[in-house]
């Protein structure tokens, strides 16, 4: 009887180990596939950047990216200090690019995308979202570097490029929040309500103090990603004011 139990336990352990190994192999394969997809996207982006450096481009840059990626949802380029340089996409909802790359290929990595409720060069507030990751080197992973004050001090400006304009923004607050209800608001009934909202983020919620004034005439950029480790379940919000 004891011998049967012994062999039963051995078989059970073997099955469990085989099952775990199988899923580990699948996970490794999935990670390699996602990294390969990401590498393809970066090759496209860097190819055009190199052509720009060599003065081989005469057309509008954004239009060239649209052709390269075969995607008319590409609307701009976002440069955050010296830590992020990425394409921006926008469609008619905030769901599609949560799990699709700039090539429109399905991927858990998603893209950096603009809130569908806002319009570049028109809206007073533009919200931009992107995933964070402990595994993949995706653009908004670098936003968490702003938790380091030295990085914040050296990277206070954000550049937003479209076919029509190049706008510069100065970061006025870096916030850690539990949910996205408040900063996700993009429409306010009155200017004073809007100004109060962002001054509150600056004065009460920011992990750094800044001297950047916020007025009801300002145009604001809001960047959002998630946080891991001891901040698991929270969001990192970077707010910036247009200065040019």
The CATH number for 207's domain is 2.40.260.10
**Are 76 and 161 within 8 A, CB to CB?**
yes
- Per-residue pLDDT, 126: 92
In this prediction, residues 56-65 reach a mean pLDDT of 71
* CA end-to-end span of the chain: 83
**Are 198 and 220 within 8 A, CB to CB?**
yes
- Per-residue pLDDT, 136: 81
Query: Is residue 109 in a domain?
Result: yes
Phi, psi of 125 (to 5 degrees): -130, 130
Phi, psi of 223 (to 5 degrees): -110, 135
Confidence label for 51 from pLDDT (cuts 50, 70 and 90): low
**Are 113 and 90 within 8 A, CB to CB?**
yes
- Per-residue pLDDT, 24: 43
For every residue of 122-136, DSSP letters joined together read T-SEEEEE----SSS
Structure tokens at 125: 């507030």
Confidence label for 171 from pLDDT (cuts 50, 70 and 90): very high
pLDDT greater than 60 at residue 167: yes
pLDDT greater than 60 at residue 17: no
Most confident of 45-54, 168-177, 200-209, 212-221: 168-177
Q: Which of 196, 46, 62, 190 is nearest to 120 (CA)?
A: 62
Rounded CA-CA distance 115/34 in Å is: 24
Residues 120-163: pLDDT tens digits?
888 888 999 998 888 888 899 999 999 999 999 999 999 999 88
- Per-residue pLDDT, 71: 93
Look at the alpha carbons of 151, 84, 95, 239 in this order and tell me if their dihedral is positive or negative: positive
- Per-residue pLDDT, 52: 59
For the chain, the residue count is 244
What is the domain range of residue 190? Answer: 70-242
pLDDT greater than 50 at residue 231: yes
Query: Is residue 195 in a domain?
Result: yes
- Per-residue pLDDT, 48: 63
Query: Is residue 217 in a domain?
Result: yes
pLDDT greater than 80 at residue 166: yes
pLDDT greater than 80 at residue 23: no
- Per-residue pLDDT, 152: 94
**Are 236 and 230 within 8 A, CB to CB?**
no
Query: Is residue 209 in a domain?
Result: yes
Q: Which of 183, 4, 159 is nearest to 82 (CA)?
A: 159
The pairing of strands 125-129 and 220-226 is parallel
Confidence label for 209 from pLDDT (cuts 50, 70 and 90): confident
Query: Is residue 15 in a domain?
Result: no
What stretches of 116-217 show up as alpha helix (H) in DSSP?
149-154, 191-200
Contacts of 120 (CB under 8 A, 6+ apart): 75, 76, 90, 114, 126, 160, 162
What percent of the chain has pLDDT above 90? 32
- Per-residue pLDDT, 123: 84
Query: Is residue 36 in a domain?
Result: no
Higher pLDDT, residue 203 or 44? 203
- Per-residue pLDDT, 119: 87
Number of H helices, E strands in the chain: 4, 8
> What is the distance of C-alpha 100 from the center of its chain?
13
Query: Is residue 21 in a domain?
Result: no
pLDDT greater than 90 at residue 116: yes
pLDDT greater than 80 at residue 191: no
Q: Which of 239, 86, 81 is nearest to 152 (CA)?
A: 81
Query: Is residue 130 in a domain?
Result: yes
Number of domains in the chain: 1
């Amino acid at each position: 009887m004891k011998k049967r139990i012994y062999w039963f336990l051995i078989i059970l352990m073997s099955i469990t180990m085989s099952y775990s190994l199988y899923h580990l192999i699948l996970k490794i394969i999935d990670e390699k596939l996602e990294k390969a997809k990401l590498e393809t996207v970066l090759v496209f982006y860097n190819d055009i950047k190199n052509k720009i450096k060599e003065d081989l481009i005469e057309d509008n840059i954004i239009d060239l990216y649209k052709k390269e990626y075969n995607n008319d949802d590409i609307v701009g380029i976002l440069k955050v200090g010296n830590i992020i340089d990425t394409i921006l996409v926008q469609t008619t909802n905030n769901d599609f690019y949560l799990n699709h790359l700039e090539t429109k290929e399905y991927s858990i990595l998603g893209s950096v995308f603009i809130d569908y409720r806002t319009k570049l060069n028109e809206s007073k507030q533009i919200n931009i979202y992107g995933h964070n990751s402990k595994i993949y080197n995706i653009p908004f992973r670098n936003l968490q570097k702003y938790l380091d004050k030295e990085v914040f001090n050296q990277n206070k400006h954000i550049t937003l490029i479209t076919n029509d304009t190049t706008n510069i923004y100065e970061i006025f607050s870096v916030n850690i929040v539990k949910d996205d209800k408040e900063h996700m608001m993009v429409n306010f009934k009155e200017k004073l309500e809007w100004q109060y909202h962002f001054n509150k983020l600056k004065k009460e919620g920011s992990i750094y103090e800044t001297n950047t004034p916020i007025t009801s005439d300002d145009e604001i950029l809001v960047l959002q990603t998630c946080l891991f480790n001891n901040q698991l379940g929270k969001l990192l919000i970077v707010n910036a004011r247009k200065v040019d």
